[in-house]
Amino acid sequence: MEETNNDKNIFLTRGCCKAPNLNNNTDEFYKHGCCKLNTHDWLKDINQPYDKKTFDYIEVRFKNSRKDFFKLTDDLEYFVGDLVAVEGVPGHDIGIVSLVGDLVKMQMKKKNTDVKNTDIKKVFRKARPSDVEKWITAIEKENITMEKAKKIAWDQKLEMKLNDVEYQGDNTKATFYYTAEDRVDFRVLIKILAEEFKVRIEMRQIGVRQEASRLGGIGICGRELCCSTWLTNFRTVSTNAARVQQLSLNPQKLAGQCSKLKCCLNFEQDSYADALKDFPRNDIELHFKTTVAAYIKTDVYKGTMYYAPKEAMSTFFEFTKESVKKIIEMNYKGQKPDSMEEFSVKKEKKQTFDNTIVQEDVNRFDKKRK
């Protein structure tokens, strides 16, 4: 089968660097670096005391971040990267094995998937050349289908945004992912799409965070979006995380590409919260003989707090947290320090040179000249 210029792009969504061949040789097309939400098998180099095949479940990945667990029904040994035909609704789907062995058991426990659940779908077989050929044909239709579907939805004047489409491996069903602010009546749309593409249509609504994870992009940090590379669950992000980290409550700076608060605000929240336990309360004013100082901001990891006199709020004074505790203790006892400069951190730094080191450099330079 000839490879077109667009093959590399369309198969990257499945974790393939190029179109799979019909011989099912995974070394040529399946690469871990091409996979979204790739999982590192840290147990693969550890010798297990028993055969890995004793655990009858594997994890299979499909387009973008869609993964699921499937039960093995034969005695064949499956490896990461194998193309497999699994149970679909209806028919069968084609996916790529992403995890095998004990790590699957840990993942199922992490995602609260019970192995005794009878609803877990089954693995039919390793993909045959005819299955792979049909799967490739289905993937090649996705871009054209997406363009036509967007035009049809626009003509129907539906308040929805189509984000992605995924064909089932047997080319009998197409799942459309969309976002919408309100409930959408797409019954007419489903009929039109079914007549146009001659397949079963399924509409699946996703949130704006899931939309960003499927589409991908570059964040303000210069790296790929966390949700499209490694982040598998979306925790609730609140403005309290920004307050704890002493960040400005500017919606334009705190929002990500999904227009929601950035997920990375949660990453360092716990460490900031622990560090703030050693700081005094910031709602306490500091009383001096000459003025009263009000709290301005905190530099958490530097361990300093900024205060300004009430009559001149544009002038900041930096105090260590220990100094602030000492001043509060003095105020509690009825004592007042003479001035703010007495406890403030000195900002003037004088650079000093070691005369011995300078003289050694001069002597070394003179030797080179001679």
Tens digits of residue pLDDT in 281-326: 988 999 999 899 999 889 998 899 999 998 888 788 899 999 999 9
Among 276, 267, 214, residue whose Cα is nearest residue 244? 276
Q: Is the pLDDT of residue 134 over 50?
A: yes
pLDDT digits (tens, 9 = 90+) for 153-199: 999 999 999 999 999 999 999 999 999 988 888 899 999 999 999 99
Among 166, 43, 39, residue whose Cα is nearest residue 95? 166
| Domains of the chain from N-terminus onward | 7-131 (no CATH), 141-209 (3.30.300), 279-370 (no CATH)
What's the first-to-final CA gap in the chain, in angstroms?
72
Question: What phi, psi does 196 have (nearest 5°)?
Answer: -75, -45
pLDDT digits (tens, 9 = 90+) for 1-45: 444 444 446 788 887 877 777 665 565 677 777 777 777 777 777
Q: CA–CA separation, 190 vs 199, rounded Å?
A: 10
User: What is the reported pTM?
Assistant: 0.74
> What stretches of the chain show up as alpha helix (H) in DSSP?
7-12, 102-110, 129-140, 142-155, 187-197, 208-215, 239-244, 251-254, 269-276, 321-332, 355-369
Q: CA–CA separation, 286 vs 358, rounded Å?
A: 46
Q: CA–CA separation, 255 vs 262, rounded Å?
A: 5
